[in-house]
Structure 1
Amino acid sequence: MPWAARTSLGRILDDLGPTLLDLVHGSPEPADEVGGVVIHDPGDDIAYPPHAVVLGVAVYGTKAIADLLHGLREQGAAALVVRGPVAPDEVLAEASAASGVALIALTQGASWSQLTALLRTLLTEGGVGDAGPESLGGVPSGDLFALANAVATLLDAPITIEDRRHRIMAFSGRQDEADQARVATVLARQVPDGYLRVLEGRGVFGELYRSDRPVHIAPATIDEGETALPRVAVAVRAGDEFLGSVWAAVKDPLTPDREQAFQDAAKLVALHLLRHRAGEDAQNRLRADLVSTVLEGGAGAAEALDRLGLVHESTVVMAMGLTAQDGDHAQVVAERQRLTSALGIHLDAVQPRSALALLGDVTYAIVPVPADTAAGRERAEQIAANFMERAGQRARAVIGIGSVAAEPAELGRSRARSDRALRVLLSGRTGRRIASIGDVYIDALLLEMQDLVAVHGDELLSPVARLVEYDAKHQAHLVRTLHAWLDAFGDVMTASANSYVHPNTFRYRLRRVSEVGQIDLQDPSVRFALMLQLSLMGDATP
């Protein structure tokens, strides 16, 4: 059976809430695929698909909602959607729990037809590259440019569709018939600041946010001698959420019919904007699922890798994490997402077939590289180094690089090695920003041995334990002396200079190390054991 995304209730809430839907009672956790959308009609004998989302269009009041929840238990429904607001209620909570049907509220101002169209779009959505030729209002779903041209035909005027930050999401043809301000806006894909200030000063945006009707705007200019056309703009909303706006550059006032058509078109634009946003989120989430499946290995890994278009490629796993940062959790999350997006843009430019996903606190990239091990590792390091150079020193990111995987079964090992290298980089033991496991292998082993020490609950063992105990009582600095001597390979002059201690004092302390610890410093195996234990102590060294 092909690996496929499943549209669960949780995914629907992720895509459409809180813009349109709010979970009141129940849980979206069950991963069963939603089987369809049903509009509840008490006078009709409805055939319910399994795990249906039921739209209670005219169901109001606690008793009516609770009765319907109980009735939907026999139908195996997944959720009941009623018009909000619906306050949490003990009766409704008990009915939801007893029936196993989640209760969801549709936000005020959102239309049932809008919700139905979006739900059915989500339920028919396939995997990456599998979406069919869906349409909303006769325009390909999510194709904002086709929609802009359709609206331009209705109004006989060039159109732009803007998001709430005044960025141009799509525009129609015939922009050359407009004015200088429109041309500058389309070229920059952003309304110029000068025009925004003029419109803000007139109170245009305030009126646009308040009104459901098209707003007529007198020509706006910022340069002497500039000419401009009037504008008509209409807000695009989903319920109470302002999604953006549609702007028409008109030579003549709109007729009443065209003004009504413009207002109606805004509702269709809202559907497409929501579908566009949901589609992007769904694609990102599906890609993350595919990357996760590949990295976990198992039966579905090869098929997931095939879905990503990498099954016949030699690849390397990169793991990017953030070093400790000041700031609150939200700032760290935002920085992690920003760097993930930046790495994605970088990989699109230098290695377009790469697959990227943020999984937990780590960003993983599966990057195609040459099959030769040395050449593949060199290419991966070059890509990572170029990204770090572009990101700059202020970006506190580090990247661990795994081994070259010639076939899908080897990707699990590549991921494990990238994780091990990343852990060393995040520990700050090396001061490096990029490393493969071969670069930091000893440090990785030491960290893993520290894990074993912690798991077994081991305490310091003699002779180091005797030195630590003696130092605690007498402030004799014996452990520090031993550490300095081992680091200097037995060179007393170098070790004493590094410790800022007179050589004779250092020799005396070294003799006390042998006496107190009962250590034969001439035995190489003893010296190795001491170096290892002191390394495992790490920051705990007195």
Structure 2
Amino acid sequence: MRDTSRLTYSYKDFIDSPEGLADRIAESLGCPVTIEDANHRIISYSKHETNVDDARTATIMRRKVPEQVINGLWKHGIMSKLFESDQPLIVEKIEEIGLGNRLAISVHKNKELLGFIWAQTNDLSVTSEHLEEIKEAAQWVSHHLLRQQAKKKKTDENRKEFFWQLLTGSLENQSEIKRLAKKYQMNLQGQLCVAVFEFKEEMSQAVERHAYYLTETLHQTRIVNRIFDDQQLILLVRTDDQEDANEMNQAFIREFTQKMKERLHFEDLKGAFGLIYDSPTLIGDSYKQALKVLELKEQYPDGLHHVDNYQDLGVYQFINELAALQKKENYKNDALRHIKAYDDRNKSMLLETLKVFLEKNSNVHQAAAHMHIHTNTLNYRLKRIKEIGNIDFKDVNQKTMLYLDLLIYESEQEDL
């Protein structure tokens, strides 16, 4: 029979030493053990290194679980079970990610996920005693992680305040920014931009935890800091290479939204990022730009559904300012007004045809295919549009103004 009082005492000896704690658990279970935080960063690993598999080796070398392994665990339903329960889980080997047999348990305090314990069991026959042992170990790992959290809490609050100062542009002194960045261990060197994700669903603690978890486990970007504000997740992203920064950020936006859709079934999550700067004093500008992309995506869902970068907004960057100026000057486009009147009288679709034609860069075949009509039908409509609106489709300036006015009309939904 197990001497639980001896075990409890021996765990207590190592609560301030994560390395010793992992060794103690490994000694008790008789197999290699890894302790991770909630974002799969290694807290400690045991020195028991007999017959370790590729997943364990890669994790120890990187000090973090490889993204390929994390994705594989999600695909096989392992991570969702660990997120939802604090009971031990026997995991069969998954060869495609180099993972051997495991005994795993998530470490919780109340409903908060703190981390994980993974034991590589190999050919070990897991008994009820092993299950009880790892459950007890999880309690002591919880004590250790809570102590670490308490030490970090005040620092995190100060980091959050510093981040808000950068986002709002209230801190402009370069030397002061450099001093605070060093104090809070925020690397502000290289290329910086702000990314914002907007959630339609209520931002519960579970959603926040999973969103935070994803920002930590998607490896292609470096997240300097993050903050939740109402239904938005705001991230400060850093890269060393400006040439690849836009592509990397776009990939991150798309992968984050896809993972949230797959794992939490979020269908209407939008992401955007502002321009990339090499000075932390311009972080506030990037934040405003990211917010503007989200605003315009909401306003023009058809035209901007694929855009997540301020740089790619094109003429949409200035569309609201142009609309305000037109309203102030009581401007109306006569050509569009005449075409709209013709459509109303004849129940025709000339205005819609004009917009599609302009969107397709005056390509008759693409526009006809988009509208599911014959090119002859489209050419007839374009002839009527020319006549009614007195439009010259060879005049680039006129076509540009027509397109902008059509966008504003559709957004404002006011009479032409």
TM-score, reference length from structure 1: 0.44
Please name the residue that 1:9 is paired with: none
Query: Counterparts of 2:213 and 2:235 in 1: how far apart (Å)?
Result: 12
- The verdict on how the C-alpha distance between 1:285 and 1:533 changes in structure 2, with shifts beyond 3 A counting, is same
- State the secondary structure of the residue aligned to 1:440: helix
- The verdict on how the C-alpha distance between 1:402 and 1:476 changes in structure 2, with shifts beyond 3 A counting, is closer
Alignment of 1:140-155 (within 5 A): none
**Does 1:338 pair with 2:191?**
no
Identity %: 16
- Paired residues of 2:197 and 2:234 also in contact (CA < 8 A): no
**Does 1:381 pair with 2:267?**
no
Query: Counterparts of 2:286 and 2:407 in 1: how far apart (Å)?
Result: 27
Please name the residue that 2:70 is paired with: none
Deviation of the 1:319 alpha carbon: 0.8
Please name the residue that 1:432 is paired with: 306
Deviation of the 1:176 alpha carbon: 6.2
Deviation of the 1:342 alpha carbon: 1.6
Deviation of the 1:159 alpha carbon: 4.6
Amino acid across the alignment from 1:463: A
- State the secondary structure of the residue aligned to 2:312: coil
Deviation of the 1:316 alpha carbon: 1.0
- The verdict on how the C-alpha distance between 1:383 and 1:507 changes in structure 2, with shifts beyond 3 A counting, is closer
Query: Counterparts of 1:442 and 1:464 in 2: how far apart (Å)?
Result: 19
Deviation of the 1:407 alpha carbon: 3.0
Pick the aligned partner of 1:475 from 344, 347, 363: 347
- The verdict on how the C-alpha distance between 1:457 and 1:282 changes in structure 2, with shifts beyond 3 A counting, is farther
Unaligned runs of 5+ in 2: 36-44, 47-55, 57-81, 91-109, 111-123
Query: Counterparts of 1:467 and 1:336 in 2: how far apart (Å)?
Result: 50
Alignment of 1:288-299 (within 5 A): 288-299=160-171
Amino acid across the alignment from 1:376: Q
Please name the residue that 2:233 is paired with: 363
- Paired residues of 2:270 and 2:294 also in contact (CA < 8 A): yes
Please name the residue that 2:277 is paired with: 405
- Paired residues of 2:171 and 2:281 also in contact (CA < 8 A): no
Amino acid across the alignment from 1:432: H
Please name the residue that 1:317 is paired with: 193
- The verdict on how the C-alpha distance between 1:363 and 1:306 changes in structure 2, with shifts beyond 3 A counting, is farther
- State the secondary structure of the residue aligned to 1:413: helix
- Paired residues of 1:297 and 1:411 also in contact (CA < 8 A): yes
Indicate the structure (1 or 2) with the bigger Cα radius of gyration. 1
Query: Counterparts of 1:278 and 1:498 in 2: how far apart (Å)?
Result: 58
Unaligned runs of 5+ in 1: 1-151, 163-167, 195-208, 210-222, 236-243, 248-268
RMSD after superposition: 5.4
- Paired residues of 1:321 and 1:398 also in contact (CA < 8 A): yes
- Paired residues of 1:478 and 1:513 also in contact (CA < 8 A): yes
Amino acid across the alignment from 1:363: L
- State the secondary structure of the residue aligned to 1:406: coil
- State the secondary structure of the residue aligned to 1:363: strand
Alignment of 1:381-530 (within 5 A): 381-382=247-248, 385=251, 388-389=254-255, 392=258, 394=261, 399-423=271-295, 428=301, 429-432=303-306, 434-435=308-309, 437-446=310-319, 449-450=322-323, 452=324, 461-487=333-359, 495=367, 498-501=370-373, 506=378, 509-517=381-389, 519=391, 523-530=395-402
Amino acid across the alignment from 2:354: L
Query: Counterparts of 1:154 and 1:400 in 2: how far apart (Å)?
Result: 51
Query: Counterparts of 2:400 and 2:345 in 1: how far apart (Å)?
Result: 27
- Which piece of structure 1 moves more, 523-532 or 504-513? 504-513
Query: Counterparts of 1:323 and 1:378 in 2: how far apart (Å)?
Result: 27
Pick the aligned partner of 2:404 from 521, 532, 540: 532
Deviations 1:12-62 (A, max 9, x none): xxxxxxxxxxxxxxxxxxxxxxxxxxxxxxxxxxxxxxxxxxxxxxxxxxx
Deviation of the 1:182 alpha carbon: 12
Higher relative contact order (CA 8 A, sep 6+): 2
Deviation of the 1:293 alpha carbon: 0.6
Query: Counterparts of 2:125 and 2:395 in 1: how far apart (Å)?
Result: 89
TM-score, reference length from structure 2: 0.55
- Paired residues of 1:319 and 1:364 also in contact (CA < 8 A): yes
Amino acid across the alignment from 1:369: T
Deviations 1:471-502 (A, max 9, x none): 22320222123334444666667655654556
